[in-house]
Structure 1
Amino acid sequence: MNRIALLASAAIAALTAPLAAQDMAISNVTVVSGDGADPVANGAVVIRGGRVVYAGPSANMPASAGAPIDGGGAWVTPGLVAAPTNLGLYDVGAVDESNDSSASSSPFGAALDVAPAINPLSQPILISRAGGVTRAAVMSGPSGSIFGGQGALIDTGADPQAIRKARAFQVVALGESAGRIAGGSRASAHALFRNALREARDYGRDSRVLGSPARPAETRTGDDVPIDPRLIDDPTERASDTLLTRFDAAALVPVLRGEQKLVVAVDRAADIRAVLALKEEFPRLDMVIAGAAEGWMVASEIAAAGVPVLAPALQDLPSSFEMLASTQSNIGRMRDAGVTVGIDASTMRQPRLLTQHAGNLVALTRVPRATGLSWGEAFAAISSIPARIMGMGTGVGTLASGSAGDLVVWDGDPLEVTSSPLRVYIDGVEQPLENHQTGLRDRYRDLDTSDLPKGYDW
C-alpha cells in the first residue's frame, strides 16, 4: 500500500471518531523514538486511548494490536517541541495590535502571565501544527523589565484548550539586552535581579521551605502563593524602598523555592558564568539557560552545574558583541562536555523549521573540524530534550510504551528539507493541517488564468 492509500485508510478510521483519541496500529514505517536512538526501519507504532502502547520493530508488534495499516515506508516520529517560542502571542508580528509577544510599557514584569493572551486559532500555531509541532513552551520577551513574565506550556491542537500548564516558568534576561533595559549596564541588571529575589523572599517567607526565621501563619492567595498575612492586613509593613509591585514579588516566590523553572536569556561566556554563580546565593533556583551563543567556551562549567541549555543551531555570525564566539558547533561541543542541550526555537520566525535546524547539525558531522550530532541526537534536540527541559511530563517528545500519543507521519526523512508531514496526532487525536498558507497554495497551484479575479483582467 502506498502513502496515498495510507492516507485514505487513516481518513476512514478518523471518520469514526473525529473528536476522540483514535486507536490505531501502523506497520511498515521507519520509527523514530525521539530519545536519541537511531531510526528503526520496518517498524510499527500502536496507539490506544491516546497513549503509545508499542513503538519498535514490526516483528515484535503485540498480537493484540490487530490488523495494522500498511504505512508504505513512511516515517513516524514524536511531535516536535518548540521551546521557547512566542507561538500564539501574535497573528502578524509587524502589527502591534495583534502582537502580545512583549509588554514594553507594562507596570508589571515577573507577574505577567502569557496564558490569557494565547490564541489557539492564530495562524502561526496552525502553520506550526502542519509542520509537525505538537507542543510548545510559550513566553513573552523581556522588554520593559528584565523579566518576561510567566510562560505557559501548550499543545497546538485544534481545540480551544491550548494551555497544558499556565505559569510553568519565569523568564529573565541577564545579558546585553538586560543591561540596556536596566539602565545601561549588566551590573544594574544583576542588582535588579538579586533585589527582586530578595524582595520576593521577604514577601513570601516560609520558614519550612526557605529556612528563614519563624513568621506568623501564612495566608494563601488565589494563585496559591504563600503570602505573609501582615502584608495583607497592613501593607505599610512592606519596606518603603521596595522596587517590585506586590504582584511581581508574589510571582517570584515559586521561582525562589525551585517550584517554577527560571529561563535565563544569556549568550556571552562571562554572563553564563555570572548566571551559574547565582545558584550559590539562591541554591533552589531551577534554571534553564536560553541562547548560550558562547556556551561551548564554558561547557564544562555548565555541565558541572547541571543546568540544561536551549541554544540556536544555525548561529555562527555574531549579531552583537555578546555573540562574538558564535559557532554552529556550539551545540555539539556542549553535548560532548555533558550538557543537556536542545535547540532553541525563539530565533525562528516559524518553529516548523526546527527539522531543518536539526538536520544542519547532522550535516555538520560531515564537515571537517566541525562538531555536530548524530541523526537520533539531532531529532531528540527538537523533541524529547526540550520537553524534558521545560517539564512537559513523562513521555512527551518520545515514542515508547506509555508515551503521549503525539506523533507525526512524514513522507520521508523529517530532517531533510524536502520532507513534509502527512498526518499529525496529539494525544491520539488527528489534527487538521489546513491554514492560510495551504489555502493559498491550493488556490493558486492549479489556477487557470481564466479564473483570475476581474481586477487582473486588463
Structure 2
Amino acid sequence: MRTKAIVGGYVVPIDGDPIDGGTVLIEDGKIVAVGTDADVDIPEDAELIDASGSWVLPGFIDAHAHLGVHEEGEGWAGNDTNEMTDPNGARFRALDGIDPYESGFDDALSGGVTSVVIKPGSGNPIGGQTIGVKTWGRSMFDMVFAEHVSVKSALGENPKRVYGDKGKTPSTRLGVAAILREAFTKARNYAAQRDHAQNEGKPFDVDLTHEVLAKVLAGELYWDQHVHRADDIATAIRLSEEFGYKLVINHGTEGHLIADLLADRDVPVILGPLFTTKSKVEVRNRTLRSAGILARAGVKIAITTDHPVIPINFLVYQAALSVKDGLDPETALRSLTINPAEMLGLDDHVGSLKPGLDADVVLWSGDPLDVMNRATRVFIRGVDVYHFDEAKGVGVSAQRQYREA
C-alpha cells in the first residue's frame, strides 16, 4: 500500500493537543507519525492528501450497535438480533448473523463511524458474544479487527417480557438475576473441573456456553450489561462484585440518578440512544442531560446509537446535543473515540490518532460537533473508502461500489 500523508489540516488526535497545520502519515494501514507539517518526515513518493480547512480526527466508534444483524427495512428476514429460545445464549455469536452489505454500513461512513462493536439483542438474560468490526470491507474476513470483545447480557423489561410471555423463567427481575447467578456458578464450577482434568491429563467434554462464561470470569471478555433503570444498574453492579467480572453498563438511561455510585465503583457507561421515543416504562427518565451529569461525576462515558434504533450516522449529533445540554466538548469527542476504545480494550487498535494504531482517519468540513459540518473523506486502515461529492451533494462509498460491481 502506498504511503499517504494527510497534510495541512487541523489535527485533533484526541489523546493529545490539537495541531493546527498538522500531518498524519500512514503506511501499510497504520499511523506511523502525527505532528506539524514541518516536523513529520514525508517520503518523496508519498501520496499527499490536502486537508487544508478541514478538521482531521480518528474515526468514530459506536460501542453498541446491531449493524448487519438487524438490517433496516428487511423485516424478520433480516433480523438475527435475538435467539430467544434459551435464556443463556453465551455460545451465540453476533459474527454469524452479520450482513456486511447492509445499507447501515454506508450510513456509518457518512457519519464518520469507522468501527462498531456489534452485539446480540436484549431478549435473553445472556444474549451472546459481541465483535469489533470496521465499517468497510467485502466480508467479515476483511472487517473484523477484534473477534473476542465481550458478552451481551440484559436486565430489566426485555428478558422478563420475552420469557414471561412464554410462561417460562425468567418472568421477573428476580428470575433474570437468578439466571445470571446460576450461569456464572455453573461456569465457575466447570472451569475448576476442566482445569483439574487438564492437570490430571484426563479427557474432558467441552461445553461452549460454560467456556465463554469462564472467559468472562477470567477477565478475558468484558460483560456488556443492557440496563436502563437505576435499580437495575445497582443489580448489575452487585452481580459483577459477586463474581468479579469486568462490567460495562450499556444504555444506562437512569445512570445520572446514581452517577456517584458509578463513579465510586469505576464502572463505565455506554450511554444511549439519547434521542428516541420513551417507548417503555424503564426509559421514562431519558434525558440529554445524562452525559454531562455522568461525566461531571467522573464516570467514563461513550455514546451509542443502538443502531438501528437511531441511524448510526446520527452518532455525532447525539454528542452535539449532549454538549448543548451540559457535556463539555472535549469529553463529547472522547465519548466517540478513545473512551469506547478504552472501556472495551480496543485502544491498541482504534480511538486516537497515534503511531501504531489503525489508520482510521476522517476529514471533516469543520468541528464535527457543529451539526452543519460533515465528514468529507474517510480512510479505514489507510484505504480511501468514502468521500462527499460537493458537486452532486451526495456521499460516495467504496462499499456501495463493491455491491454495484
**Normalising by structure 1, what TM-score?**
0.76
TM-superposed CA distance for 1:155, in Å, is 0.9
Match of 1:84 in 2: 64
Q: Does 1:189 align with 2:176?
A: yes
* Structure whose alpha-carbon radius of gyration is higher: 1
**Residue 322 of structure 1 aligns with which residue?**
282
Displacement of 1:177 in angstroms is: 1.8
In structure 2, how many angstroms separate the alpha carbons of the residues matched to 1:380 and 1:440?
28
SS at match of 1:184: coil
Q: SS of the residue aligned with 2:186?
A: helix
Offset from partner CA, 1:202-253 (integer Å, 9 cap, x none) = 2222697xxxxxx332699xxxxxxx84546xxxxxxxxxxxxx43223211
**Structure 2 partner of 1:34:** 14
How far, CA to CA, are the matches of 1:333 and 1:380 in structure 2? 16
Matched, 1:55 2:10: no
User: What secondary structure sits across from 2:145 in the alignment?
Assistant: strand
Q: Report the number of matched residues.
A: 382
The answer as to 2:289 corresponding to 1:289 is no
Q: Is the 8 A contact 1:171 1:263 kept in 2?
A: yes
In 2, Cα distance between equivalents of 1:441 and 1:313: 25
Residue type at the aligned position of 1:418:
M
| Paired letter, 1:77 | L
- Residue aligning to 1:154: 133
Counterpart mapping for 1:133-144 below 5 A: 133-143=113-123
* Counterpart selection for 2:379 from 425, 436, 453: 425
Structure 1 residue 167: Cα displacement: 3.6
SS in structure 2 at match of 1:45: strand
1:337 counterpart letter in structure 2: A
- 1:111-130 to 2 correspondences below 5 Å: 111-130=91-110
Which residue does 1:452 correspond to in 2?
none
What SS class does the counterpart of residue 33 from structure 2 fall into?
strand
Q: Is the 1:148–1:172 contact (alpha carbons within 8 Å) kept by the matching residues of 2?
A: yes
Deviations 1:424-453 (A, max 9, x none): 11111221469xxx99999xxxxxxxxxxx
Match of 2:327 among 372, 381, 390: 372
Which residue of the partner structure matches residue 356 of structure 2? 402
Shift of 1:185: 1.0
Deviations 1:19-58 (A, max 9, x none): x3x42223221212133x6644333322233222333443
Gaps of 5+ in 1: 1-19, 209-214, 221-227, 233-245, 365-370, 443-458
Alignment of 1:273 with 2:241, yes or no, is no
- Of residues 103, 118, 130, the one that matches 2:83 is 103
Alpha carbons of structure 1 residues 414 and 378: separation in structure 2 relative to 1, 3 Å:
same
- Residue 200 (structure 1) aligned with residue 187 (structure 2): yes
- Which of these residues, 222, 225, 233, is aligned with residue 264 of structure 1? 225
* More divergent stretch after superposition (327-336 vs 186-195): 327-336
Is 1:166 the counterpart of 2:147? The answer is: yes
Cα separation, 1, equivalents of 2:197 and 2:395: 64
Partner residue of 1:236? none
Q: CA deviation at 1:170?
A: 0.4
RMSD (Å), alpha carbons: 2.9
Q: Distance in 1 between matches of 2:74 and 2:137?
A: 25
Distance of 1:350 and 1:219 partners within structure 2: 53
What secondary structure is seen at the aligned counterpart in 1 of 2:138? coil
Counterparts of 1:221-236 in structure 2 under 5 Å? 229-231=203-205
Deviation at 1:105, TM superposition (A): 3.8
Alignment counterpart, residue 334 of structure 1, candidates 294, 316, 321: 294
Give 1:305's aligned residue: 265
For 2:208 and 2:145, the matched residues in 1 are separated by 23
TM-score normalised to structure 2 length:
0.85
* Cα 1:410–1:360 shift into 2, 3 Å: same
Which residue in 1 is equivalent to 2:401? none
1:387 maps to 2:347: no
- Equivalent residue number for residue 368 of structure 1: none
**CA distance in 1 between partners of 2:280 and 2:249 (Å):** 18
> How far apart, in 1, do the equivalents of 2:102 and 2:347 lie?
25
Structure 2 letter corresponding to 1:62:
V
Q: Distance in 1 between matches of 2:332 and 2:273?
A: 10
Distance 1:173 1:331, change over 3 A: same
CA separation in 2, counterparts of 1:41 and 1:138?
35
**Which residue pairs with 1:446 in the alignment?**
none
Cα deviation, 1:37-80, whole Å, max 9, x if unaligned, reads 66443333222332223334434x32445585432311211111
Identity among equivalent positions (%) equals 29
CA distance in 2, matches of 1:421, 1:328: 24
The equivalent residue for 2:305 is: 345
Structure 2: 5+ residue runs without aligned partners? Answer: 164-168, 397-405
Q: Would the aligned equivalents of 1:153 and 1:166 in 2 still touch at CA under 8 Å?
A: yes
2:298 alignment partner, SS class: coil
- In structure 1, give the amino acid aligned to 2:111: G
Q: Cα 1:253–1:433, aligned 2, differ >3 Å: closer, same or farther?
A: farther
SS state of the match for residue 205, structure 1? helix
Contact kept, 8 Å, 1:115 with 1:151, in 2: the verdict is yes
**SS of residue in 1 equivalent to 2:339:** helix
Aligned with residue 178 of structure 1, among 159, 163, 187: 159
Change (3 A) 1:173 1:440: same
Name which of structure 1's ranges 337-346 and 22-31 shifts more when overlaid on structure 2: 22-31
For 1:316-357, what per-residue CA distance to the aligned partner results, in whole angstroms no more than 9, with x for missing partners? 974433234332121111111111111023154321111111
